[in-house]
Chains A and B, each alone.
Chain A
Amino acid sequence: MYEARKYIIQFVILIGIIIYAIKLLSVQVLTEEHRLRAENISIHAIPEYPTRGLIYDRTGKLLVSNQPVYDIEIIGRKLEIKDTLAFCELFSIDTAYLHKKLSKANYGLQRFKRTLFIKQLSAVDYARIQDRLSDIRGLYPVPRTIRTYPLSCFASGLGYVKEIDQFMLDKDTLNYYKRGDLIGRSGLEASYEKDLRGKRGVHYIMYDRLGIARGAYKGGEYDTLPEMGRDLHASIDAELQIYGEKLMQNKIGAVVAIEPSTGEILALISAPTYDPNMLAGEGLEVSRNFAKLLQDPNKPLFNRAIQSTHPPGSTFKVTEALMALEDGVIDPQRGRISCIQDPIGCHPHPSPLDLQASIQHSCNPFYYRLFMQIVRQDFGTGSSKENERIGLQRWHDYAQSLGLGRKLGLDLPNEKPGLIPSPAYYDKVYKNRPQGWKLSNVYSLSIGQGEMGTVPLQLANLAAIIANRGYYYVPHLIKGIAEREIDSLYRTKQYTKISPKHFDLVANGMADVVRAGTARRAQIDGIEVCGKTGTVQNPHGEDHSIFISFAPKDNPKIAIAVIVENSGFGGTWAAPIASLMIEKYINREISEKSQIHKEKRILEADFIRQKAERDARKRVRDSLKRVQKYRNQEPEIKKEKEKKALPTELQVQDLKINMDTLPYKRPMIPLSLPNSKAAPLLPSDNRKKY
């Protein structure tokens, strides 16, 4: 009986092994299904992109929005066109375009891959043809959103978004970004990236062995919804911004307008500018535009309002007046200084002047003397040299406390600090000179020239400080962010080292400047404008024209700084531009009188063309000079030099004749055309839209 049990056990084990073997064979050898699935089953994580936050201006106008577009892609090998004409009609293209694209799509290995057929088809157009697309094989619509700029303004401040590149991916240590994500690359898009981008969602889809989506993986248990980005409310006044950009057409320079009571920037213009839509989206055209902007000799991508540094020129005199009052080195009522034209020359004006009138007439020797008095105070060190060092350091600290020569903390990337030289700076510069430096080396600082460099934003902030009579808010471009307060830095009053009581005299002086001084062109009927001109000598040609201003004098609404490079006197160009901006902002319109007297003249001025002509002339002159030099050389040297390819006379003549074909990057302006209209330049071309 018990022997039987042994056989039962053996039998059971045998049955078990047979079942296993059969199952193993069936799974592996007999059914193909699982092997195919091994190759095909996959779970795809589909990122769901959030909508990027919108940007509005201070009046609620939309500056930046998102637009859904569709790229139509084709795979050459799969595409079947039954009726070529109907196909062309569907996309409203001509047959030539179709043939061009088809030959591209069918070239080599490309025929197996997707080729871009139609770029950025608008949602309306796409909806119109959507039904008929499904009948065509090998055609793939790819939805995208691109940033659009309905008002086409404020390119430098808004910045642009781009698909993230490898460099930025490597820098992203938090590993938020994935390939294909959009990221703000400059301007507000970059500095408020975290608010604007929102939060990406993800959707897991399971694909079966046929590669057909079988729906959400595990019923969508792991899916997340995208969160929309926060909207930004910029402090920019779009109307003022557009008007300012229009005024600055064909000029190189910058305009910064600030609301003094809040530090909000009303307009931030860097000229020449460009249409931000040029850089929206991806693709060949955009990169071509980008290359074009990058190569433009006038550097439209360089944000002059926050990155260009120039000596402030005579506008700096107001800060020195404030320093003198703070240190008490001049009696504001009785202290007078004669204009002796030494050591710095001056222009004709009444003399001698008191402090207030010195601002009005911008007297150079006056400020030379004042500078010396500020720096050469007795600080009780016993050595005049030591005293001077302390004095210059004090002067430097005052200037920095007024927001010059340092980064203010604007909410845009790449703000430049500029430079207010300190004794340490001069020690470094003069370190190879045994006797060091003396005040007589640096006195051009007194009239805002020399080693000094300020940024237009800092000058506007200086105007705002005077407008506020002694304090400022750190300038910023954002009025508010949805669901979040703006940075507390932008809500804190900042005081300077100058006590507020001294500002009234300077403000009065600046009012006189416009009323009866160097900037009468800035007068506006009904608004008391205060301002100070600056005319900055520079090695590049004509003087830079600078004007800082605020208005009205009491309870100011706007503080502004204008700089027009290589144009002339401060009062001639910058002042009227500033006054037009002020008028536009306060009255919301330009009076007929201003239109005739100022606007027309400003709009017609074309300094870019002047500059191009000057540069071209200079090149010819230089070439001729070199040829002349070459001719005068000794025959031996001549032989030697012959080996090096210098332009021969013939070539120079060619040069003269074919000025138009000179290797200039920008569209050429014919040299000898004083009357003819210049070829349309890039930025002005965009202006046609207004």
Chain B
Amino acid sequence: MDNVLKNSRQTSERAENSYFEGDRVIWIVVFMLAAISILVVYSAAGSLAFRRMEGDTEYYLLKHASLVLLSLVAMWLCHKVDFRYYSRLSRFALLISVPILIATWFFGTTINEATRWITIPFINQSFQASDLAKLALIANVASMLSKRQQSIHEFQRAILPILFWCGLICGLIALSDLSGAALLFATCVLLMFIGRVPVRYLGMLFFIGITVAILALQIGQRKETAMRRFTNFISTDHKEIPFQTEQSYIAIASGELTGKGPGNSDQRNFLPYPYSDFIFAIIVEEYGLFGGFFVIMLYLTLLYRGMLAMAKSERAFGGLLSAGLSFSLVVQAFVHMGVTLGVVPVTGLPLPLLSMGGTSLFFTGIALGIILSVSRGEIEDLEPQTQADEEKIFRRG
């Protein structure tokens, strides 16, 4: 009797595994974040609904929920693809992202003095090109690093192309979104650090980064904003706390340990972009310190599982890909929380998977899908135990 039960449980697990393969912890974390996201955005977008949609708050609920669903679908599809495929795919994506970024710079939609969005013709959906470029660059750096592991000490062959692509893509993004570019750059540096690039080249990369940043600031449109925010941040005069940070402090402070409860936020009416750039403040306000720590723990878990995939990976590419993507997500999340907590200069970064925003959600889904694909690949390699494989082994045997 016991055996029968055991067998049936095993078969059911296997059946589940065939739909949701890869690291199950990552799946759980993702579903939790998606659920939290829908709850918090519904609450935080209330004022937006009243401003734009005449109080139809369900509009943003439905829109956001369907976008979350779309990103989950994208994630599922991506995790089904063998990760080795992404090496070639990323090169292609990187090549097309350059003209798209340039097109965005010239023809894009300007929101809050930043040209980051381009409207896709025919479907009339705005699209943030930097998200695509970010993903493509990380995957590509991982790919290039893994290919050149043998000749990693040769500058011309191994390091130069990587530096070129990093500089180009980060520079183009920095024209309109300096913090996003800086974050991407940091992720790439981290990736190279893991990818065994000698420290002297990394030092060189650092100088390239600064040069590119200054250049982008001079040409781009964000110079004043960036300068103002940065001087604001480092100035010791504490009376000059920026408005956003001040409001965000109030949100966090009034949340106390257990929060005001879902939907009871007051600061959503004062904070700019409570549904994206300051969603963490709303989370802490509504769910308290515990809620905030819980979300932080979810991201740390994500990072840990991503790193675990790297550690287990036999192939350099898979490991670097997984590490790069999970770093990119988690670092972005931490910078977002840092803005909310005032330990990082004010910048408008969404919280991956939690904030409202179509493109960001979609590409976060893809990134998570790739991480899962890597983890799945490893599991397959190490212990080929699907039913089909077992049968094959059995027949051959």
By a beta-carbon cutoff of 8 Å, the part of chain A in contact with chain B is 2, 5, 9, 13, 16-17, 19-20, 23-25, 27-29, 31, 33-35, 37-39, 41
Contact = CB atoms under 8 A, between A and B. Distances in A.
Contact of B249 (A25, A27, A29, A39): A27
A17 B300 CA distance: 9
A676 B18 CA distance: 113
Contacts, number: 64
A38 B254 contact: yes
Contact of A16 (B251, B266, B293, B334): B334
Given A27-B253, A28-B289, A34-B250, A20 B341 contact: yes
A23 B341 contact: yes
B72 interface: no
A9 B193 CA distance: 9
Given A23-B342, A23-B343, 20 more contacts: A2-B196, A5-B194, A9-B194, A13-B303, A16-B334, A17-B296, A20-B334, A20-B337, A24-B292, A24-B293, A24-B341, A25-B289, A28-B253, A28-B256, A31-B253, A34-B250, A34-B252, A35-B250, A35-B253, A35-B254
25 contacts: A2-B196, A5-B193, A5-B194, A5-B196, A9-B190, A17-B300, A20-B337, A20-B341, A24-B284, A24-B292, A24-B293, A27-B252, A27-B253, A28-B257, A31-B253, A33-B253, A34-B249, A34-B250, A34-B253, A35-B250, A35-B256, A37-B249, A37-B253, A38-B250, A38-B253
A9 B323 CA distance: 12
Contacts of A13: 303
B194 A20 contact: no
Interface string B54-76: 00000000000000000000000
A41 B251 CA distance: 12
B242 interface: no
B263 interface: no
Given A2-B196, A20-B337, A28-B289, A37 B250 contact: yes
Contacts of A23: 341-343
A217 to B, nearest CB: 11
Interface of B: 190, 193-194, 196, 246, 249-257, 266-267, 284, 289, 292-293, 296, 300, 303, 334, 337-338, 341-343
Given A9-B194, A38-B266, A28 B296 contact: no
Contacts of A27: 249, 252-253, 341-342
Nearest to B296: A20
A2 B196 CA distance: 7
Contacts of B334: 16, 20
A29 B249 CA distance: 12
B190 to A, nearest CB: 8
Contact of A24 (B194, B196, B252): B252
Nearest to B330: A13
B177 to A, nearest CB: 22
Residue among A5, A23, A38 facing the most chain B CB atoms (10 A cut-off): A38
Nearest to A10: B307
Nearest to B292: A24
Contacts of B255: 28
Task: Specify which of A17, A35, A41 lies most central, judged by the most chain B CB atoms within 10 Å of its CB.
Answer: A35
Interface centre among B246, B250, B252 (most CB of A within 10 A): B250
Contacts of A29: 289
By Cβ-Cβ distance, the 3 closest A-B pairs, closest first, are A34-B253, A38-B254, A35-B253
A350 B253 CA distance: 102
Contacts of B256: 28, 35
A27 B289 CA distance: 11
Nearest to B198: A1
Nearest to A38: B254
Contacts of B342: 23, 27
B67 to A, nearest CB: 28
A16 to B, nearest CB: 6
A37 B247 CA distance: 9
A23 B337 CA distance: 11
A663 B256 CA distance: 68
A83 B321 CA distance: 84
A20 B249 contact: no
The CB with the most chain B CB atoms within 10 A, among A5, A16, A20, is that of A20
Of A17, A23, A34, the most chain B CB neighbours within 10 A belong to A34
A37 B267 CA distance: 11
A28 B252 contact: yes
Contacts of B293: 24
Contacts of B190: 9
Contacts of B266: 38
Nearest to B297: A17
A29 B289 CA distance: 10
A20 B289 contact: no
A2 B257 CA distance: 41
B60 to A, nearest CB: 25
Contacts of A16: 334
Contacts of B303: 13
Nearest to B311: A6
Looking at B246, B249, B251, B257, the one whose CB has the most chain A CB atoms below 10 A away is B249
A553 B255 CA distance: 87
